[in-house]
Chain A
Amino acid sequence: MTRLFHRFLQAIPTLFGITLVAFALVHIMPGSPIDALVPPDASADVRAQVIHIYGLDKPLPVQYVLWLTHAVRGDFGMSIGMRVPVNQLLAQAIQNTLILGVAAAFFSFVTGTVLGVLAGLNQGKWIDRMVSTLGLAGVSIPAYWLAMVMVILFSIQLGWLPSSGMHSQGQEGNVLDLLAHVVIPAIALGFTPVGVISRMVRTSLLQVVKQDFVLALRAKGLMRRQILWHLLRNAALPVLTVTGLELGYLLGGSILVETIFAWPGLGGLLNSAIGLRDIPVIQAGILLIGTLFVLMNIVVDFVNSAVDPRIQRT
């Protein structure tokens, strides 16, 4: 527990750095959010008024401190483009991104584990080679292109699954409808981690198989299926770590996939906010993703040391 607390303390300077990066990046951006609000033929007076309302006329350090003190209290201001509190936008978006992310993580974890176990148990045979080829293909394929190909195939040609959005018209809250919408984006997003996870499962399994306790289990007369259970439990740790790290990839990849499927999540929100130069939304979005990623790494660390106490010593 003290270790976890210590990790959180260590993360504070990093989080501070993230706020600086989020603030600085947005203010180097070319173009002004005002251009999206004020018609080009508006008088200089009107422009100045709008700039004043959004506090964009204050010196940058003052703007940063104001933003930071509000952000610490969980207030990210109003979206310039949509006139809605940023919190409200982000809360909705992160929920939708989590639905997609969890579906993708579930897909990649299950598929990766099954393929990795198959490859590890059949080392050197054709199935092993198939899985490693698939893994390399996974890390080489652009997720957005895979998404396009799947839309062409399953939505346009075969008409099995919807091609965009999260709900059909008037079907909000229908779980089956949501599932139908999430299948293609989740597979497109989760395909790259499948390769990484299956590779890790295989390596980890092969290392465990060599250990003495496996021989002991065999000598004890356990059946193959029972031994496999022991193997998996012992091979799980590095796999958990990799899965945790891949969640970060999913967070990044979701920006692309959400754009293609018009998925109303964080990525889609950020992408449109970048187009509109909607400063409060972009800042809060970057801050949120960075913070989530840092927290996720801490949790992965913590779970590791909880599952395997040996790690604490190093």
Chain B
Amino acid sequence: MEISIHKTNHKEKDFKRDVMDEIQENTQTRRSFIQKLYSDPVAWGATFWIVLMIGTAVFAPFLTPYSPVSGNIGNRLMPIGTPGHFLGTDEQGRDMITRILFGGRMTLLMGIVPVAAACLVGGALGVIAGYFGKAVQSIIMRCLDVFYAFPALVLAIAISAALGPGVRNTFVSLPIVFIAPIARVTATAVQQIKGLEFFEAARVSGASHWMIIRFHLIRNIFRPVFAYVSTLIGISILVASSLSFLGLGVTPPTAEWGAMLRSLQDALYTQPTVAIAPGVMIFLTALAFNLLSDSIQDALDVRS
């Protein structure tokens, strides 16, 4: 008797140890994502730039004495290094640094908000398509195929042209561009999870669809979807600034880097250096988000 009790105890301990090991292993991989990012100097650099951009965007009014929309026409097109206007002035005599600080607000918003919005809609569509079987999936995916028929920039331009220029319409057209690819990635991720045993187990145990989606699905598709979505922010920044450059996004006099390049285009022959700063800012900010996304993909081990 004693021996058998001892044995079961031993088995139970074994079992417990196994479970504990597994939990520990799990937390280890989870922590290691943060740790990997933490020990990645490139991720630090990119994060530093993004935080700096967010900071200057939020506190822009306190960082400069000038107005972003009205300037002194007598001081138009001053070169870089002019006292009082370190980066010079634009074609209406507005201070370039001020315009760039305020322009960063629009650029950051147009990088993050459309991707977040598309993530909600596209993610939901992807989960529905992947979870509820073939018929639902083919209906949703065939409809989204139409959006795949256009290069991203063409689609963004076409929708923006249809809705008319303006920031509000950019916030409509950009998410539409990203919904289809996010839905596809999500649906693929869901299908991969669906074949796994624990998923079947949850179903057999009688969990409702909502429960399964909430507790078993979303947590498990988070990694691949998040890794993919992180690549879109840099693209969103570039597409948004392109729209403004074409006159389909932000309308003057609002400061935005792409719109600044548009209005400075005619001044290139008189003062070529003014075009440098807004472009460098778009480049560095898109680069920072792309580098961070690269680091996130490395840390998540989901290199595509």
List residues of A whose CB falls within 8 A of some B CB: 13-15, 17-18, 20-21, 24-26, 28-31, 136-137, 139-146, 148-149, 151-152, 156-157, 248-249, 251-253, 255-256, 259-260, 270-271, 274, 282, 286, 289-290, 293-294
Interchain Cβ contacts under 8 Å between A and B, 26 examples: A13-B142, A14-B142, A14-B145, A17-B145, A18-B149, A21-B150, A21-B158, A24-B162, A29-B162, A137-B287, A139-B234, A140-B287, A142-B238, A142-B282, A145-B261, A145-B278, A145-B279, A149-B275, A152-B268, A252-B154, A255-B154, A255-B246, A270-B157, A286-B150, A289-B151, A293-B149
- Across-interface contacts of B258 in A (CB, < 8 A): 142
Contact B283 A25 (CB under 8 A): no
- Shortest distance in angstroms between B262's beta carbon and chain A's nearest beta carbon? 9
Q: In the assembly, what is the distance between CA of A13 and CA of B138, in Å?
A: 12
The reply on B5 being an interface residue by CB < 8 A is no
| A-B contact sample (19 more), CB < 8 A, given A13-B145, A252-B153 | A14-B149, A15-B149, A17-B143, A21-B158, A24-B162, A26-B162, A28-B162, A140-B283, A142-B245, A142-B283, A143-B242, A144-B261, A145-B279, A148-B265, A249-B153, A251-B154, A252-B150, A252-B154, A256-B242
- Across-interface contacts of A14 in B (CB, < 8 A): 142, 145-146, 148-149
Q: Which residue of B lies closest to A253 (CB)?
A: B153
Given known contacts A140-B283, A144-B245, A148-B265, A255 and B162 CB-to-CB distance under 8 angstroms: no
Contact B268 A148 (CB under 8 A): yes
- Across-interface contacts of A293 in B (CB, < 8 A): 149-151, 154
Q: In the assembly, what is the distance between CA of A248 and CA of B147, in Å?
A: 13
Given known contacts A25-B162, A248-B151, A136 and B282 CB-to-CB distance under 8 angstroms: no
Q: In the assembly, what is the distance between CA of A148 and CA of B282, in Å?
A: 14
Given known contacts A26-B162, A282-B161, A18 and B272 CB-to-CB distance under 8 angstroms: no
Contact A289 B154 (CB under 8 A): yes
Q: Range of interface residues on chain B?
A: 35 or more
The reply on B241 being an interface residue by CB < 8 A is yes
Q: In the assembly, what is the distance between CA of A139 and CA of B231, in Å?
A: 11
The reply on B61 being an interface residue by CB < 8 A is no
The reply on B60 being an interface residue by CB < 8 A is no
- Across-interface contacts of B153 in A (CB, < 8 A): 249, 252-253, 255-256
Q: In the assembly, what is the distance between CA of A14 and CA of B144, in Å?
A: 9
Interface residues of B in 221-257 (CB under 8 A from A): 234, 238, 241-242, 245-246, 248
Contact B268 A156 (CB under 8 A): yes
Q: Which residue of A lies closest to B268 (CB)?
A: A152
The reply on B291 being an interface residue by CB < 8 A is yes
How does the 8 Å CB contact mask read for B86-116 relative to A, with 1 for contact and 0 for none?
0000000000000000000000000000000
Given known contacts A21-B146, A140-B234, A289-B151, A256 and B246 CB-to-CB distance under 8 angstroms: yes
The reply on B290 being an interface residue by CB < 8 A is yes
- Across-interface contacts of B246 in A (CB, < 8 A): 255-256, 259, 271
- Across-interface contacts of B261 in A (CB, < 8 A): 142, 144-145, 148
The reply on B276 being an interface residue by CB < 8 A is yes
Q: In the assembly, what is the distance between CA of A11 and CA of B101, in Å?
A: 46
The reply on B62 being an interface residue by CB < 8 A is no
Q: Which residue of A lies closest to B261 (CB)?
A: A145
Q: Which residue of A lies closest to B163 (CB)?
A: A28
- Shortest distance in angstroms between B16's beta carbon and chain A's nearest beta carbon? 42
- Shortest distance in angstroms between A16's beta carbon and chain B's nearest beta carbon? 9
How does the 8 Å CB contact mask read for B140-175 relative to A, with 1 for contact and 0 for none?
001101101111111001110111100000000000
Contact B150 A144 (CB under 8 A): no
Q: In the assembly, what is the distance between CA of A15 and CA of B149, in Å?
A: 8
Q: In the assembly, what is the distance between CA of A252 and CA of B242, in Å?
A: 11
Contact A25 B154 (CB under 8 A): no
Scoring B145, B148, B158, B283 by chain A CB atoms within 10 A of each residue's CB, the highest score goes to B158
Q: In the assembly, what is the distance between CA of A157 and CA of B164, in Å?
A: 37
- Across-interface contacts of B162 in A (CB, < 8 A): 24-26, 28-29
Contact A136 B287 (CB under 8 A): yes
Contact B283 A141 (CB under 8 A): yes
Contact B294 A157 (CB under 8 A): no
- Across-interface contacts of B78 in A (CB, < 8 A): none
Q: In the assembly, what is the distance between CA of A15 and CA of B148, in Å?
A: 11
Q: Which residue of B lies closest to A141 (CB)?
A: B283
The reply on B286 being an interface residue by CB < 8 A is yes
Contact B150 A274 (CB under 8 A): no
- Shortest distance in angstroms between A83's beta carbon and chain B's nearest beta carbon? 22
How does the 8 Å CB contact mask read for B285-296 relative to A, with 1 for contact and 0 for none?
011001100100
Give which listed residue, A140, A251, A294, contacts B290 with CB less than 8 A: A140
Q: Which residue of A lies closest to B269 (CB)?
A: A156
Given known contacts A29-B162, A144-B261, A255 and B157 CB-to-CB distance under 8 angstroms: yes
Given known contacts A140-B283, A145-B282, A152 and B149 CB-to-CB distance under 8 angstroms: no
- Across-interface contacts of A15 in B (CB, < 8 A): 149
Give which listed residue, A152, A157, A252, A294, contacts B152 with CB less than 8 A: A252
- Shortest distance in angstroms between B190's beta carbon and chain A's nearest beta carbon? 20
Q: In the assembly, what is the distance between CA of A60 and CA of B103, in Å?
A: 40
- Across-interface contacts of A20 in B (CB, < 8 A): 146
- Across-interface contacts of B290 in A (CB, < 8 A): 136, 139-140
